[in-house]
Amino acid sequence: MSSLIDSVNPWLVAVGLNTILLGLAGIAPKKLLTPAGLFHAWFLAILIWVTLGWQGYVVVMFYFLVGSGVTRIGMAQKEAEGIAEKRSGARGPENVWGSALTGALCALGVGLINSGFIVLSPQFLVSNLQSLLLLGYVASFSTKLADTTASEVGKAYGKSTFLITTLQPVPRGTEGAVSLEGTLAGIVASVAIAFVGWAVGLIDLLGVAWCVLAAFIATNIESVIGATLQSKYTWLTNEVVNIFNTLIGAIAAVLLSWTWISIIK
């Protein structure tokens, strides 16, 4: 099946598949994306399919579906408390790129290498760079899914919520707040999507470990940013923080992998 898919022009498959899927999403009774969000998600999905094939597509779709699902956990309660995501969780363009810009750049890098636009020598440099970009790609979505899951589960089920910088109790939904329930849920989510990346062949089993560890590091750094800086700067919106979050996750995974390779050599 995969060989048949790979043999067809990837642009035709990407445009056709995503036009159908996002068309169905557009007429679905429960909106996962705004109209503008649909267009941006369509563009992103085409980019991922063309550069990383169905394997990369599976990872981003897993993130989108699971992330959308956990956002709706306890929605009525979170809306009553004023801590729910806006538009009842429907994603707009800012959400699409806040979550996926880092992953899209990693995918684009792989695509440029495979197309010959970027020429590297010797060959092992090409292979190593591709592997690190693929690791960064999976790590970025592992980080974002961990962050989304931790936040939404924490807001819905967190019994005790603490500010990460002081460990003082704060209300659920406070920027920079963490909970045991949310943290554990975030770790589970990062493990799940990292294993998806491994199952489709984008990373190896050691890469799964780097993704999970990087996601934990980046998610906690994101909480620190939320607790200390986000209220001070108007430009530091949730979407901008999400970009930093995923970028930190991708870089952390790459550095962990690079350090490990250096040690064993």
**pLDDT higher than 80, residue 156:** yes
The residue written with tokens 């707009």 in the block is 92
pLDDT confidence of 7, banded at 50, 70, 90? very low
Domain extents for the chain? 2-264
Name 162's bridge partners. 169, 178
**Could you tell me which residue, 246 or 116, shows the higher pLDDT?**
246
Sign of torsion over alpha carbons 68, 74, 77, 82: negative
pLDDT confidence of 9, banded at 50, 70, 90? confident
What is the pLDDT at residue 21? 85
Name 91's bridge partners. 33
**pLDDT higher than 90, residue 141:** yes
Could you check whether the bond before residue 29 is cis, i.e. omega within 30 degrees of 0? Answer: no
> Mean pLDDT over residues 151-175, rounded?
89
Q: 0.75 exceeded by the pTM?
A: yes
What is the pLDDT at residue 85? 61
Q: Cβ distance 142 to 190 under 8 Å?
A: yes
**pLDDT higher than 80, residue 229:** yes
Q: What is the pLDDT of residues 35-93, one digit of tens each?
A: 898 999 999 999 999 999 999 999 999 999 999 889 888 777 766 666 656 656 578 89
Structure tokens at 197: 């990346």
Q: Cβ distance 204 to 173 under 8 Å?
A: no
What is the pLDDT at residue 158? 82
Average pLDDT, whole number, for the chain?
88
**pLDDT higher than 60, residue 6:** no
pLDDT confidence of 126, banded at 50, 70, 90? low
Stretch (H or E) spanning 34 = none
Sign of torsion over alpha carbons 155, 161, 162, 164: negative
What is the pLDDT at residue 192? 98
pLDDT confidence of 147, banded at 50, 70, 90? very high
